[in-house]
Structure 1
């Protein structure tokens, strides 16, 4: 069977395997997913997110990682990366389905392949949250997208419930989905009104759809309230983000500029696809809906701020679909563009491997620490050292920058200096520190450095990519056993 006659899902799978091969089994693809894995592992050991181990991500994201974390290290790394690959391929397949329905069959495969390749360029090479929730969002889009036949109000209401249930699950992976969810909800209400429903019925349906979307989050809140931790849940999930200090404006604009450059082929192709739409096409309502979805995703990115590269991952599926019309008419251009995206993605992955470190380097650091009864505190560095070394933690604020970054001052529910002092009183057996980073509070680093130089001896200085990890071991026996937060 030639590649031209292979099933499209198989082509997508082959492309995904080739595009991500270099990442498989690497435990340090990105600091975010390292932390998701560590938090899921802590949950399985009895820790309660937002109380015993702290972050702002919804609990659903950690539950998603839990089955992989249950396999331990290193099997769990392969497991979550396999799940991420499966979700990415499924998303790409639904991208093709929507492109087909919109009358862009000739460019549908290119759109699916682009959905797989572009994440490598914007830090989506592993298990970032959008890799998982993009599948839920596009499945919701497929449910409510305009159809050629007239949809009766009752059927539209039922499809809306299904779509909002998917959005609700996606919200428990990351709350930024709210922008796309709001777009779909408003679209559904407008569609119901156009189908002949009275305003009161539209409002009632809209309320039901909103309640369905919010149900998983409300259930999480209720579960924490039942444990007496409602306040902790509310602060971590919603209120703390309001307390966080903004990054410098120039840094944010630089991040946004990088995103625009990387996605510019998708933006340009989608724009050309918009201009080239057929005015009499029966699929024109669906095409307009898909472009509106892309606009909602872009608005969500702009409103959310910070603009780290992986924040642009939700834009890839709708932009790829909207570009399919142009690519179908310019297939040679699409092929060249996809080849460049593949090669560029591999170059980016190799560069990040050299910068962030290799599995062998992080394994050497973990071996130098080794297992034992004493706890570990990673002041700055990879949190994957906790499961790799098998050491306990001494603080709920395991993600290092929460305790040392300027923008987190006053935004984590505890005073950073006070928590550093409390950690030092716990007398962890090992402390890991890397060199200062941009955005770090120098007084916090000085506080930690003074303590480790006084009470610890530096055992090793080991490389991890461009970094050097200083491993400090306590030089005197602790006065009492360090307690674990896990």
Structure 2
């Protein structure tokens, strides 16, 4: 055998073995992540009342399939892409559709966690990569990510973009993948606008890399191209509504109403933020310890990951309110950075298994508590049975928006997410006067009106007005339990 051929075989065989080993490791990681994710979320499968947000997303997609147009016939301020995500599930109808969107969410969760492991490996944190991925899978249960919240879906797009442009040691990104990354961020932007800051970070990183690489002449055309790529899905959404003469409705729902919404009380926001910090504190501590290690300064890729984490935290802080699920985007870079402590530190390797076990048990306990408080599929079916399937229209003054498609009764308003009409912080931010819209609905004499118990942040005067109408023209048809709540169902009394 010639010397050149021998050298080729000598180099090829170890490289092939490394590829096979890496592929085997990746498959093994994916299998473990999938099993843990299924077990961690099994409690929620088939439950239609996992969270009010995803109930509404499904309800909107279902109504869209049956002729309603988002922002016109059914109102919300979420981007159209989020409802498009739910369309495949809505095609299967109510019962099967719940399982379908939860399966889609599970696939997104697993894909995101797998890429967390891959990116941690690229940063040289391979020994902690699987632990970081599993931390993400388990910690989403603590922040209302156990179902189909919007970040569960767009986190996969964001980490996909990060995977395309993430630096490898001293090498910057290639720019064709950079455009692909911005396309993914553009799609993510049409699922929820809160990805804006991460998209800006990725775009500015690409521009800085071009400047550092000596391609200063390309900064302006490159920046323009990246911006157009990222904004194209949003522009297409606007244009679709412009074509039907509803661009003003799209603009108000997607832009103006967001700025018009009232902030929550400062004390409430502070309490919510403290809760998020407490929940994520183990991963924050692990990330800080990974940052303090000597390897960060010598590995640009690690510094980039921590910069991404900082931007994700900024994106959470700037929007306010601080509902628990607002932490879901932060969990992605947080889990990657925590992998550095889990793998590189002796203490991290010693505590990672107990920490993940605590995360699993704590998450399951919390899901059981939430199911007890929010209700089960059987309880939901009991309420729907009491509402009945017609004739006559339904008005859910407060309660689950899913009651509309489940009962099949018609709606008398486009504001079928009850909080839009009943919550104080929505006053002046939905395009109509809340009281006037409720009075209009009641004047149309809905056959059935549904109330959940009063909640914090509700406009008490509007509830009192509606209850007064119930006393005059309605009778209590039934009271049914839904979790810790007693749902009251009123029917219109005979004249």
Corresponding position of 2:106: 85
> 1:388-413: CA deviations, max 9, x gaps?
11211110000001101111111100
The farther-off stretch of 367-376 and 233-242 is 367-376
Partners of 2:180 and 2:448 lie apart in 1 by 50
Distance 2:183 2:459 in 1: 42
Give the whole-Å Cα distance in 2 for the aligned partners of 1:426 and 1:318: 50
**SS in structure 2 of the partner of residue 440 of structure 1:** coil
**How many pairs are equivalent?**
469
Match of 2:486 among 468, 472, 475: 468
In the alignment, what sits opposite 1:9?
Answer: 30
Q: Which residue of 2 aligns with 1:481?
A: none
Where do 1:394-413 residues align within 5 Å?
Answer: 394-413=412-431
Q: Does 1:64 align with 2:85?
A: yes
1:300 matched to which residue of 2?
315
Matched, 1:211 2:228: yes
Q: What is the aligned partner in structure 2 of residue 458 from structure 1? A: 476
Question: Per-residue deviation at 1:346?
Answer: 0.2
Tell me the CA shift for residue 157 of structure 1: 2.2
Name which of structure 1's ranges 293-302 and 386-395 shifts more when overlaid on structure 2: 386-395
Q: Is the CA contact (8 Å cut-off) linking 1:156 and 1:192 kept in structure 2?
A: no
Deviation at 1:147, TM superposition (A): 2.2
1:341 aligns with one of 348, 359, 365: 359
Structure-1 residue corresponding to 2:279 = 262
Is 1:381 aligned to residue 411 of structure 2?
Answer: no
After superposition, the C-alpha distances for 1:156-197 in whole angstroms (9 at most, x for unaligned) are 221211000000000010000001001111111101111111
Please list the CA deviations of residues 314-339 of structure 1 after superposition, one character each: whole Å capped at 9, or x if unmatched: 01110111011110132221111110
Which residue pairs with 1:244 in the alignment?
A: 261
**Distance across 2 between alignment mates of 1:64 and 1:293:** 26
Aligned match for 2:41, one of 20, 31, 39: 20
RMSD, matched Cα = 1.5
Give the match for residue 272 of structure 1: 289
Residue in structure 1 matching 2:250, options 233, 248, 255: 233
Counterpart check, 1:321 vs 2:326:
no
Question: Equivalent of 2:449, from 408, 419, 431?
Answer: 431
Misfit runs of 4+, over 6 Å: 3-6
Between the aligned partners of 2:338 and 2:467, the Cα distance in structure 1 is 52
Normalising by the residue count of structure 1, what TM-score does the alignment of the two structures yield? 0.94
Give the structure 1 partner of residue 300 of structure 2. 285
The structure whose residues are more often helix, as a share, is 2
Q: 1:181 and 2:179 equivalent?
A: no
Name the CA distance, whole Å, in 2 between partners of 1:421 and 1:355.
31
CA distance, structure 2, for counterparts of residue 373 and residue 66 of structure 1: 27
Return closer, same or farther for 1:354/1:150 CA change in 2, 3 Å cut-off: closer
Contact 1:372 1:391 (C-alpha < 8 Å) held by counterparts: yes
In the alignment, the residues of structure 1 paired with residue 57 and residue 273 of structure 2 have an alpha-carbon distance, to the nearest angstrom, of 25
Q: Against the structure 1 CA distance between its residues 147 and 371, is the aligned structure 2 distance closer, same or farther, given a 3 Å change threshold?
A: same
Between stretches 416-425 and 166-175, larger displacement belongs to 416-425
- The SS at the match of 2:435 is helix
Q: Separation in 2 of the partners of 1:276 and 1:150?
A: 22
Equivalent residue for 1:392? 410
Partners of 1:87 and 1:63 lie apart in 2 by 15
* Counterpart pick for 2:133 among 112, 115, 122: 112
Report SS of the residue matched to 2:295. coil
Query: CA separation in 2, counterparts of 1:349 and 1:68?
Result: 23
Between the aligned partners of 1:5 and 1:446, the Cα distance in structure 2 is 58
Query: Using the alignment, how far apart are the partners of 2:276 and 2:263 within structure 1?
Result: 19
Question: Match of 1:49, SS?
Answer: coil
Judge conservation of contact 1:459–1:473 (CA < 8 Å) in 2.
Answer: yes
- 2:63 aligned to which of 28, 39, 42: 42
Q: Partner of 2:124 in structure 1?
A: 103
1:217 shift after superposition: 0.4
Cα distance change of structure 1 residues 232 and 319 upon mapping to structure 2, 3 Å threshold? same
Hey, what does 1:309 align to over in structure 2?
Answer: 324
Q: TM-score, normalised by structure 2?
A: 0.93
C-alpha displacement at 1:443, in angstroms? 1.3
8 Å Cα contact 2:394-2:447 kept in structure 1: yes
Structure 1 residue 476 displacement after superposition: 2.6
SS in 2 for 1:431: strand
Deviations 1:49-94 (A, max 9, x none): 1110000100110011011011111000000000000000000000
Q: For 1:133-152, what aligned pairs fall within 5 Å after superposition?
A: 133-148=154-169, 150=171
Question: Given that residues 297 and 303 in structure 2 are in contact (C-alpha distance below 8 angstroms), is that contact kept between their aligned partners in structure 1?
Answer: no
CA distance in 2, matches of 1:383, 1:375: 14
CA deviation after TM superposition for structure 1 residue 259, in Å? 0.1
